Amino acid sequence: MFRSCAAVWARQPRSAAGLEKLVKAAFGVEARVEPFRGAWIDLPEEDLTRLGGRDAGNARLGSTALLGSRVFDASAGITLRLGPLTEAQRRMFLPPPAGTCRADLLALVRWYLGDMGCEIVLERQGGTGRKYGC
């Protein structure tokens, strides 16, 4: 698998099409990546806005001031849709102990994309999908 996908691994930046190709090569199932699954990100204490005093970091109106302790990141993650899957294929991607491929799929996604949120949707043949977060 790795030889047939060597160009995908070498290419920067990583792409949705590259991840789809890797998943198909590794697991033999169709995959579709839907980018821009947003999430709220908690800000570290030192990045919060403080007014007055000597430690008034991030308090410059119009440039660095923030309101609140978290921000919404529209590109924090992806949705990875697998399928349509047969019942046997769907069971492979369920959480353990039923699923045998889920940990490998998550490792592949993290290896390719790094630290990024991923929601996995398993689509049945002739049916709707079921969501699993990671």
Query: What is the total count of domains within the chain?
Result: 1
SS3 content of the chain, % helix, strand, coil (to 5): 30, 30, 40
For 28-85, what is each residue's pLDDT tens digit?
A: 999 999 988 888 999 998 888 877 766 666 677 777 778 889 999 988 899 999 999 9
pLDDT of 10 > 70? The answer is: no
91-109 pLDDT, tens digit each: 999 988 888 899 999 999 9
* pLDDT for residue 116: 82
Residue 123 resides in a domain: yes
pTM of the model: 0.71
Kindly state the greatest CA–CA separation across the chain.
63
Asked if the structure places residue 66 within a domain, the reply is no
Print the domain residue range for 10. Answer: 6-39+76-133
The answer to the question of residue 51 being in a domain is: no
Q: Is residue 54 one of the residues assigned to a domain?
A: no
| 48 located within any domain | no
